[in-house]
Amino acid sequence: MKLSVPKYLVGIDTRVNDVINRCLDIKSNDVRIVGIFGIPGVGKTTIAKVIFNTIYYCFDGSSFLDNVSEKSRTNDGVIQLQETLCYEILGYQNLKVGSISKGINVTIERLHHKRILIVLDNVEKLDEIEFFLENYDRITSGSRIIITTRDKHLLDTLTKNIHVMYYEVKELNKHEAHKLFCQEAFGRNNFEEDYSELVNQFIDYAKGLPLVLKIIGTDLYGRTKHEWKSALDKYKRIPKGDIQKTLKISYDGLDQTQQEIFLDIAYFLKGFRKDKVVDILRSINNHDPYYDIERLIDKCLIIVTEDNKLSMHDLIQQMGWEIVRQESPEVIEKRSRLLCYKDAPEILIENTGSNEIRGITLCLPKPKKVKLNLGKMKILKYLIVCNVICEDLTSLPNGLRLLEWNEFPLSSLPSAFEPKNLVVLKMRQSHIKLDEHFERCRFETLIYMDLSYCKNITKVPDLSLIAPNIKKLNLRSCINLVEVNQSVGLLEELKFWNLRGCQNLRILPRNLKLKSLRKFYFFGCGSLEQGTESMFSSIGYLTALQRLSISLKNVREVPSSISNLKNLIFLCMEDCDNFPKAMDTPDCFPKLETLAIRNSNITTLPEINIIFQKLKMLYFQHCWNLREIPMPPPHLKVLYIEGCGSLDSQSRRRLLSQVGEMFGLPQNMVCSRGSLHQDSVSEKCCDTSKMCSASDLLNYEYGSQFNLVLPGAKIPKWLNHQSVGNSISFSVGRESLAFAFCVALKVELKGIGANRFENFICSIYIFFNGYKKGFYSSKFFLDSSSITWFHYRSNSSFDGIVLEDCNNVELLFEVSDYDPKMAKLTIERCGAHVACICPSRNPVVDKMACVRIHESLRVSFDENLKIFLCRVVSQNLDRFSKIHCPLCEIAEDSLLHLFQCCPYAKGVWYGGRWGFRVEMIRAQTVMEFVEHIIDPPSELLAERITKDEFTLYAVMAMKILWMAQEEALVSSTKPTINQLVHRLNKQYDFYLRPLTKKLNRGSAWTKPLDQLVKLNFDASCDQNNVGLAVVLKDQDGNGRVIGRGININSKMGMPLAKEEHKLCLQAKFFFGFGFFFIWKSDFFFKLSPLCHEQKIHEPGCDQPSALSRICQMSD
């Protein structure tokens, strides 16, 4: 029997197919356990139910046990679940197991001979599984067990006995969230235009959690905008009870220490590196917190990012904030942690803080003078301050572990402060001077010190006595730093040392015996006088070094001992005249993955592919004399070239031609549909003196991909898909995920204020079957040149994507993060190279579609509109589209969305002349939509509208919408729906006049003049319709026709109340300006010209006429 699931589901099909195809594999004859895990409210149970409904008939028996954790809290509950399992699979209604242990045996004995499907929903403990499946080896082949849980570690425990496949449920993407929210809040997939901003704010608040979207949407249904705004403000301060209760379930399953750690991370440590968090918490709790952090990860309460930082879902974080708020809802100082900047200053200024406050984050929206008083906060562990200006600071709690105060206004910490417990000191851009406080106190527990960009630091004191356990020392861009004490070169625990940009640094330690140092950044220090040569002579002692950035200025020769750096994976060299001989050996850096050479006079390179065989990234910047780049190493993933003015064209052409071969992309692949925009592309690049720029290497993380950046906006001819503009699409099969793309950008600087060293970002969005499945971006410098960016992604880059036999792939490119006043950036062309299975599409097919359009429309139909329709059906519009529609900024951009689904489209259609609802057009493709436009079925034609009028109006509406989209892309403003409707009606009248003149000889449509009034009610040429026109006439009798020329489908002589009302309104308008009024009709009545002030005479009329009603309105 199928299970009940919500009526309206969004994003389920993709996730269900992922589990069924990737994990369950129904045809396989092995026993499989699939664990579905994720944060609370993400939809695990719903997905499990839909999977059950989809596949249950494939098994001899099936059972879905819901809310196992809740029901297993008592023995009776467990026994009831065991009996339910046997009943649903075997049909034994009166089976009684008696006890839990007996129930386990009965379950296995009765079920072991059947191929079964069992779903255990919401499991928290291992024994909750063993109550039903203790003996895994006795489960019949082909059976499937599905477990949903919030605890990934529970699934890890199961792997000791049987293979378990994992599936993590991710949040809904923005498009899916929009559909679900609108369905709950409005009862449909769209909304009124004036709600768009609020809808986006609520969707952003929910962060893709289906449960939250449903609860909030249901709560807002039928409410006013004012109520929506009020609710949003409340949700941001205090989460709704149902949401808080659901999200808090995982938190309740933690022990007290783990709960405290979770709250510390939610308030103060989110975004910190995992190892730093461990050091801080170890100092507070006096034990290693690694296990506790792993429990939070298993519970899906926190996540570890790719760069090893701790993060969490925004609503999980808000759940933690609400837990602390509930500690004392009314009395703020009794809470354990403070975050709100409105509350914290009051406590700090008035000294009302208590001994219960564990941490404070005081970040004001703008700089403000505050007199801080922290005297009562004895157990304060965390203090994070921003935008606070204090003239005096008398004390700081001695128990502080984390002190973060960027732009600290004083030159020294309080004299009474004893930092005997401090672990992290972060004071960027501060006025502090190291020699004033550091020489008075010892920082024995200090591990992380970040004093970058501090202008008042001139000398680094003896840290071996002051902070002997320091691991990270960041002095970047301390521009007045002159001397570093010799003791710094002997710190045994130091792992990170950054001296980048210390431009006045003169004295360095002569000896480096830093056995733990892993990262050392030392360049941009142009004033060195002492220590450079001797320091490099001891560089061989840094055997743990993994990342090294050095300037070789004033270094005559790199010592051979540098080859001792066997663990080096990143090397950046500046100011070198020649490639160091000490590095020109294959065994020098056996693990090197990144090599960067910048601002150097180097002319030639050794055989890099032989010396550095594991190299993955090669980077050249401002190597003006570099003439040739040798054959890239076999594992190279990224190649950036910038400012290499002497690089010969042969090298550039060879690099472009080699990339396809290096990654198994044969250059003779041809797309079966051809390329609509493909033209002959020269491989010759432009002037090499102006080149692109690359991203910041210090933060670069590479994957299964390849980057090549070269000058010139030229795309290689061998790419089998090319397009003008910023988007391209193709189709692939199940095994064809690897592909390369190439994008050509034009960069034009504006004015003398433009800075070519400003950055911009180019991003690629990758959609599979309409869903965004990939994203990649790279940072470049603004330059007046053209840029060609070649990027490759391998199959492994798309692990986890479930493909069908035929899959549509769309690549969309965007440029962002730049000032349009300084530069104009244009994506001129893009291309892709892939083993595609694109459906056959050739000029003959496109020509047939265009012939169909021309044959279906009248000869008199405007030729430009016919051409526009042909370009639509052949997808030959030069569209510079975005990821989301630039008009509504909600759904993924497509022509069908633009013409039919976009709120702007619906507004234009409905707000137009006939109030047409475009939803009545049932179309799945643009071609089907156009078919309905040129040959509309009768149900689409409203009363008194002819087929020709509908087609003309519809095509013009499509073109108006297309032009509005392009306008929104190139300007900072976009037109309103009312403006688009006005444009449509105006252009429709413009096109209709010559059309009506050709087809209806009984009409006289000419350009109107001023000072006329005449109303004409006449029969049209076919004698079945009535035409309506407005004529203005001056006092000399000269008149001109204006109006819409609407054909009114009505029998002759019948009352026309709606049209009479229009006439009345128009006549009343003219009366207001004192025009003469003339009514003329040879169809209804024969009347003489009348002034609106005279009495009405209606000869031969037995009933009230339109004229009498008009005159009554004018009186």
**For 898-952, what is each residue's pLDDT tens digit?**
888 888 888 888 888 777 788 788 777 777 788 888 878 777 776 657 777 788 8
Q: What is the mean pLDDT of the chain?
A: 76
* Whether the predicted pLDDT of 577 surpasses 70: yes
pLDDT at residue number 771: 66
**For 107-149, what is each residue's pLDDT tens digit?**
777 777 888 899 999 998 888 888 887 777 778 888 899 999 9
φ, ψ of residue 755 in degrees (nearest 5): -115, 115
Interval 295-316 mean pLDDT: 89
Name the band, by pLDDT with cuts 50, 70 and 90, for residue 873: confident
Tokens 């207001």, located at residue:
1072
Neighbours of 1107 (CB within 10 A): 24
Dist CA 625 CA 644 (whole Å): 7
Interval 862-873 mean pLDDT: 76
Mean pLDDT check: name the lowest of 177-181, 332-336, 789-793.
789-793
pLDDT at residue number 702: 40
Interval 840-850 mean pLDDT: 49
pLDDT at residue number 190: 64
Interval 832-847 mean pLDDT: 61
Tokens 């467990």, located at residue:
78
Count of helix runs (H) and strand runs (E) in the chain: 31, 37
pLDDT at residue number 372: 80
* Of the candidates 418, 381, 388, the residue with the CA atom closest to the CA atom of residue 403: 381
1036: Cβ–Cβ under 8 A, 6 or more apart, which residues? Answer: none
pLDDT at residue number 637: 75
* Whether the predicted pLDDT of 756 surpasses 60: no
Residue extents of the structural domains in the chain: 12-168, 174-237, 245-322, 569-636, 650-839, 844-999, 1014-1114
Interval 285-314 mean pLDDT: 90
**For 456-503, what is each residue's pLDDT tens digit?**
999 999 999 899 999 999 999 999 999 999 999 999 999 999 999 998
Q: Are 909 and 917 in contact (CB under 8 A)?
A: yes
The rounded Cα 259 to chain-centroid distance in angstroms is 31
pLDDT at residue number 97: 74
pLDDT at residue number 874: 67
Tokens 């929903």, located at residue:
121
**For 408-424, what is each residue's pLDDT tens digit?**
998 888 888 888 899 99
Beta strands, E only, 297-396: 303-304, 310-311, 337-338, 359-369, 382-389
* Whether the predicted pLDDT of 1022 surpasses 50: no
| CA within 13 Å, CB half, 559 | 14
Percent of the chain with pLDDT over 90: 18
**For 141-186, what is each residue's pLDDT tens digit?**
888 999 999 888 888 877 666 778 889 999 988 878 888 888 888 8
**For 943-965, what is each residue's pLDDT tens digit?**
657 777 788 888 889 889 888 88
Model pTM score = 0.64
pLDDT at residue number 403: 96
pLDDT at residue number 154: 84
H or E element, residue 519: strand 519-522
Dist CA 300 CA 153 (whole Å): 10
- More confidently predicted of 18 and 403: 403
What distance separates the 2 farthest-apart alpha carbons in the chain?
119
* Structure tokens given for 568: 């080096």
Neighbours of 763 (CB within 10 A): 15
Going from the C-alpha of 192 to that of each of 224, 888, 903, 1091, the distances in angstroms are 12, 11, 8, 46
Interval 1044-1049 mean pLDDT: 38
Dist CA 261 CA 940 (whole Å): 63
φ, ψ of residue 134 in degrees (nearest 5): -70, -40
pLDDT at residue number 1065: 53
Domain 12-168 class in CATH: alpha beta
**For 986-1011, what is each residue's pLDDT tens digit?**
888 777 655 444 444 333 333 333 43
| CA within 13 Å, CB half, 880 | 16
Dist CA 804 CA 802 (whole Å): 7
* Whether the predicted pLDDT of 267 surpasses 90: yes
* Whether the predicted pLDDT of 555 surpasses 50: yes
The DSSP annotation for 152-219 comes to HHHHHHHTTTS-EEEEEPPPP-HHHHHHHHHHHHHSSS---GGGHHHHHHHHHHHTT-HHHHHHHHHH
Q: What would the CATH number be for the domain defined by 245-322?
A: 1.10.10.10
Mean pLDDT check: name the lowest of 251-265, 597-611, 645-659, 1097-1111.
1097-1111
pLDDT at residue number 1016: 52
- More confidently predicted of 83 and 689: 83
Tokens 């197919």, located at residue:
17
Q: Are 1114 and 1068 in contact (CB under 8 A)?
A: yes
Kindly state the DSSP code that residue 19 receives in the 8-state scheme: I
* Whether the predicted pLDDT of 1082 surpasses 70: no
